[in-house]
Structure 1
Amino acid sequence: MNYSTLYAADKTLLMVFNGSHCPFVDRLAVTLTCGYMWIPLYIALLLLVINNHKTVVQISLVIGMALLAIVLSEGMADLIVKPLVARLRPIHDTLMQDSVQVVNNYRAEGYSFFSAHASNTMAVAVFFSLLVKDRLFACTLITWALVNCWTRLYLGVHYPSDIIVGMVWGSVSGLFACTMYNKVKDTRSVRASDDAATTDMAYRRSDINTVICVMALLVIFAIIFSLI
Structure 2
Amino acid sequence: MYTFDHALFLTLNFDGGPVMDRIMVLCSTPAAWAWLYVVMLWLVWRRGGWRALLFFAVTAGAALGLADMVAGIFKHAGLLGSLWPSFPARLRPMHTPSLEGLVHTVREGGLYGTVSAHAATMTALCVTALPTVRRRWFSVLMVAVTVVICYSRIYLAYHFPVDIVLGVVVGLVSGAAARCAAQAVRRRLCRA
Q: Is this a same-fold pair by TM over 0.5?
A: yes
Aligned residue in 1 for 2:82: none
Q: Is the 8 A contact 1:19 1:26 kept in 2?
A: no
1:102 aligns with 2:105: yes
TM-score, normalised relative to structure 1? 0.73
For residues 123-144 of structure 1, give each alpha carbon's deviation from its aligned partner in whole angstroms, at most 9, with x where no partner exists: 1012101222232221211111
Query: Offset at 1:55?
Result: 4.7
Q: Is the 8 A contact 2:95 2:111 kept in 1?
A: no
RMSD between aligned residues: 1.8
Separation in 2 of the partners of 1:190 and 1:85? 46
Q: 2:58 aligns with which of 37, 48, 64?
A: 64
**Structure showing greater Rg:** 1
Alignment of 1:78-93 (within 5 A): 78=72, 80-83=73-76, 84-93=87-96
Q: Is the 8 A contact 2:150 2:164 kept in 1?
A: yes
For residues 81-122 of structure 1, give each alpha carbon's deviation from its aligned partner in whole angstroms, at most 9, with x where no partner exists: 22233211110122222111112xx12224111000111111
- Extract structure 1 runs of 4+ deviating beyond 4 A: none
Aligned residue in 1 for 2:116: 115
Q: Is the 8 A contact 2:94 2:157 kept in 1?
A: yes
**Sequence identity (%):** 31
Aligned residue in 2 for 1:53: 48
Aligned residue in 2 for 1:77: 71
Q: 1:24 aligns with which of 16, 19, 37?
A: 19
Residues 124/181 of structure 1: CA separation in 2 closer, same or farther (3 Å cut): same
1:133 aligns with 2:134: yes
Aligned residue in 2 for 1:151: 152
Unaligned ranges ≥5, structure 2 = 77-86
Q: Is the 8 A contact 1:118 1:167 kept in 2?
A: yes
Aligned residue in 1 for 2:10: 15
Query: Offset at 1:63?
Result: 0.9
Unaligned ranges ≥5, structure 1 = 1-5, 193-228
3-state secondary structure, aligned to 2:159: coil
Separation in 2 of the partners of 1:132 and 1:101? 38
Q: Is the 8 A contact 2:104 2:157 kept in 1?
A: yes
